[in-house]
Structure 1
Amino acid sequence: MDNRQKPRIGISIGDTNGIGPEVVVKTLSDARILNFCTPVIYASAAVLQHTKAALKADYFNFVEVGTAHALVSRKVNLVSCIDADLPIETGTPTPFSGKASLSSLMAASADLKAGLLDGIVTAPINKDNIQADDFRFPGHTEFLTSYFDAADSLMLLVSGPLRVATATGHMALKDVASKLSEELIIRKLTILLESIQKDFGIQKPRIAVLGLNPHAGENGLLGTEETEIIRPAILKMKERGHLIFGPYPADGFFGVQQYKQVDAVLSMYHDQGLIPFKTLAMDNGVNYTAGLRIVRTSPDHGTAYDIAAKGLADETSFREALFLACDIIKKRTEV
């Protein structure tokens, strides 16, 4: 990206029957967004017009372009990639809305890979109805890691100085302990450290690592993963000169606000990290996929079918995801 240009941000629409279209329209209705980026929505005019009418958002406008090769500056661009006759059943997941979310994601990802975009913001998908022959992944993170040929990646939740990553991603809780290894912890910490340095500009980050078991295992009484896997990984990273601390009992760590003393936290599994994060930053949190050569962010909420197209969805998280993508793209160009 030329330093004089605004970043071109692709937006996959997510499940068309959820709140994705609503938070996208609400965010891009503020024309000031165009001072920071050139947004490119991957959907259809019918989906956007339906959402615009439902929200009575007469102030939302877009220009339809045939391809991302022909983007219009200072306009909200639309690349049509969804059937114009798509049945819209707001509030209900359907095979049609799942297929539409996949078409949008694939089109945006292809343009990102081709260099026509500088980053991507993904609206929420339904992880069940998006499944298809060419999509057998538990979520965006795993798909994008594969699509962009990365050896690994890291789910990193961001809200200002609060950054919480997960060592394991979308998997059943019963499988977490068997998945953990010293090598995995070291690999995830390495990605986290590099991202904090490259994407957030903190050259000597302080990282806290949570334990897996209650009370971080209580010296083996409540589990041995801390003594056999997590602590040895921390010690090896310390030997390499990194500021890595822990393992901490997760409840006490967040309870006494120790997260304020570090630049990032590595949790062991999804809910261990995301429950406290969303408690602290539900409205403005952002999901960032660290470790990829491309920039991808998303809001930290789901499809919320129960409130879709009722004007109740809060667009703050999506707006923050858009701004964070712009910030990281700029940060990377400065390196």
Structure 2
Amino acid sequence: MKQAENIIVGISIGDLNGIGGEIVLKTFEDERILDFCTPVIFASIKVMSFLKTHFNSSINFHSINSVNQITVGKINVFNAWKESSKINFGEEDTKIGEFSVKSLAAATKALKNGDVDVLVTAPINKHNIQSEEFNFPGHTDYLAQELEGESLMFMVTDTLRVGLLTDHVPVKDVSTHITAELIQQKINTVYNSLVKDFNIQRPKIAVLGINPHTGDNGVIGSEDDDVLRPTLKKIKESGKLVYGPYAADSFFGSDNYKNFDAIIASYHDQGLIPFKTLSFGQGVNFTAGLNKIRTSPDHGTAYEIAGKGTADENSFKEALFTALKIYKNRTEFENLTANPLKKAPANERRKNYKER
């Protein structure tokens, strides 16, 4: 397995008028993090120098124009654009949105090509990134197109993991999106991720109902009885430890969630409201099911505090360390799967990267 400091972490800078730059700086002010990874920030050296001055940061950057110039043990800044970037903290700006997309596209390209090992994304504004060239509700949908696999929004902490059957779907359309095929796909994605990304050999998964009280025998909707229950029964018969559907209103308050390795919610707010209530500031958004690893903090651009120096970097830091842990777990799983009788040897450092 690759030595820890040789795990190359690509970082997209997100919305420059939000708190992304600040939480990235605060995270890497602790030089001990360079013992665990080598960061590559996809932005521009001019922008990062401005942010360094504004937030009175002590960080030293290594400016690069090519992935071949990545230096292990340094905080690398990949120049993803050369234009001037006028930052007005707290304001929504379509030009800033363009820079968010340039950062994400360059970081994703490096991830696809194997030039970085994992991707950690700072928050974007889903409105100001929209254009004819970029028409996605957010990171997850864009990465689902660019990378291989079946993507799933998986919100995780050390003790709580919540996946979604539907994510950025209007509530009025949720029930029409939930089909037997979708349920099987999402449960398989969560199951496989728990095994290979979180090293859980026999995961237990709970599924929340679609309607209040899981439909009350059809009184409050028939989707739970017609679609969800028969599909879960079929999945159980295949040998997976899948349980439900559970009424969502009491599931978290009763602490029932503690009995499972993951919970799958039917729609966005059903899963994310309890997740963020229980773990806000410590949670991580992990895009499970893809052939590459991407994580992000569990919060948005926070325009209301942008530029003030008061943003909490803990969720971004958790996203960074979660990406590293998943990378190590996945690498070990793949090595053992390829040769189960032989412990995989440590990987050599990537030859084309300079040493510290």
Q: Retained in 1: the 8 A contact 2:202–2:241?
A: yes
Partner of 1:40: 40
Partner of 2:125: 126
- 2:16 aligned partner, one-letter code: T
Partner of 1:15: 15
The answer to whether the aligner puts 1:69 opposite 2:68 as a matched pair is: yes
- 1:15 aligned partner, one-letter code: D
Partner SS for 1:302: coil
Q: Retained in 2: the 8 A contact 1:54–1:310?
A: no
**How far did residue 5 of structure 1 move?**
5.6
Q: Retained in 2: the 8 A contact 1:193–1:205?
A: yes
Deviations 1:199-242 (A, max 9, x none): 00001000000001111111111111111111111111100001
After TM superposition, list the pairs within 5 Å mapping 1:245-284 onto structure 2: 245-284=243-282
In the alignment, the residues of structure 2 paired with residue 115 and residue 201 of structure 1 have an alpha-carbon distance, to the nearest angstrom, of 23
- Aligned CA distance change for structure 1 residues 4 and 296 (closer, same or farther; 3 Å): closer
In the alignment, the residues of structure 2 paired with residue 3 and residue 185 of structure 1 have an alpha-carbon distance, to the nearest angstrom, of 38
Instruction: For structure 1, list consecutive stretches of 5 or more residues without a partner in the other structure.
Output: none
**How far did residue 182 of structure 1 move?**
1.2
Q: Retained in 2: the 8 A contact 1:3–1:333?
A: no
Partner of 2:80: 81
Partner of 1:177: 175
Partner of 2:156: 158
**How far did residue 100 of structure 1 move?**
0.4
Q: Retained in 1: the 8 A contact 2:66–2:78?
A: yes
Deviations 1:116-161 (A, max 9, x none): 01010001111111112221111100100101143x2110000112
After TM superposition, list the pairs within 5 Å mapping 1:188-267 onto structure 2: 188-267=186-265
In the alignment, the residues of structure 1 paired with residue 176 and residue 131 of structure 2 have an alpha-carbon distance, to the nearest angstrom, of 28
Partner of 1:99: 98
In the alignment, the residues of structure 1 paired with residue 211 and residue 4 of structure 2 have an alpha-carbon distance, to the nearest angstrom, of 50
- 1:231 aligned partner, one-letter code: R
Partner of 2:342: none
Deviations 1:255-314 (A, max 9, x none): 101111000000000010000000011111000000000000000100111111111111
- 1:253 aligned partner, one-letter code: F
Partner SS for 1:133: coil
Deviates more, 1:2-11 or 1:60-69: 2-11
**How far did residue 4 of structure 1 move?**
6.7
**How far did residue 172 of structure 1 move?**
1.0
Partner of 2:339: none
Q: Retained in 1: the 8 A contact 2:42–2:106?
A: yes
In the alignment, the residues of structure 2 paired with residue 159 and residue 311 of structure 1 have an alpha-carbon distance, to the nearest angstrom, of 25
**How far did residue 84 of structure 1 move?**
4.1
Q: 2:316 aligns with which of 315, 318, 322?
A: 318
- 1:293 aligned partner, one-letter code: N
Structure 1 segments (4+ residues) deviating >3 Å: 1-5
Deviates more, 1:124-133 or 1:94-103: 124-133
In the alignment, the residues of structure 2 paired with residue 212 and residue 237 of structure 1 have an alpha-carbon distance, to the nearest angstrom, of 17
In the alignment, the residues of structure 1 paired with residue 253 and residue 315 of structure 2 have an alpha-carbon distance, to the nearest angstrom, of 24
Partner of 1:53: 53
Q: Retained in 2: the 8 A contact 1:141–1:155?
A: yes
Q: Retained in 1: the 8 A contact 2:89–2:307?
A: yes
**How far did residue 9 of structure 1 move?**
0.5
In the alignment, the residues of structure 1 paired with residue 247 and residue 4 of structure 2 have an alpha-carbon distance, to the nearest angstrom, of 47
**How far did residue 6 of structure 1 move?**
2.3
Q: Retained in 2: the 8 A contact 1:155–1:288?
A: yes
Partner SS for 1:11: strand
Deviations 1:61-106 (A, max 9, x none): 2111121222111111000113341111111110111000000000
In the alignment, the residues of structure 2 paired with residue 223 and residue 163 of structure 1 have an alpha-carbon distance, to the nearest angstrom, of 27
Partner of 1:293: 291
- 1:125 aligned partner, one-letter code: I
- 2:99 aligned partner, one-letter code: A
Deviations 1:153-190 (A, max 9, x none): 11000011200001001111111111111111111000
**How far did residue 3 of structure 1 move?**
4.9
Instruction: For structure 2, list consecutive stretches of 5 or more residues without a partner in the other structure.
Output: 334-356
The answer to whether the aligner puts 1:148 opposite 2:147 as a matched pair is: yes
In the alignment, the residues of structure 2 paired with residue 222 and residue 182 of structure 1 have an alpha-carbon distance, to the nearest angstrom, of 20
Partner SS for 1:313: coil
- 1:63 aligned partner, one-letter code: H
- 1:64 aligned partner, one-letter code: S
TM-score by length of 2: 0.91
- 1:87 aligned partner, one-letter code: K
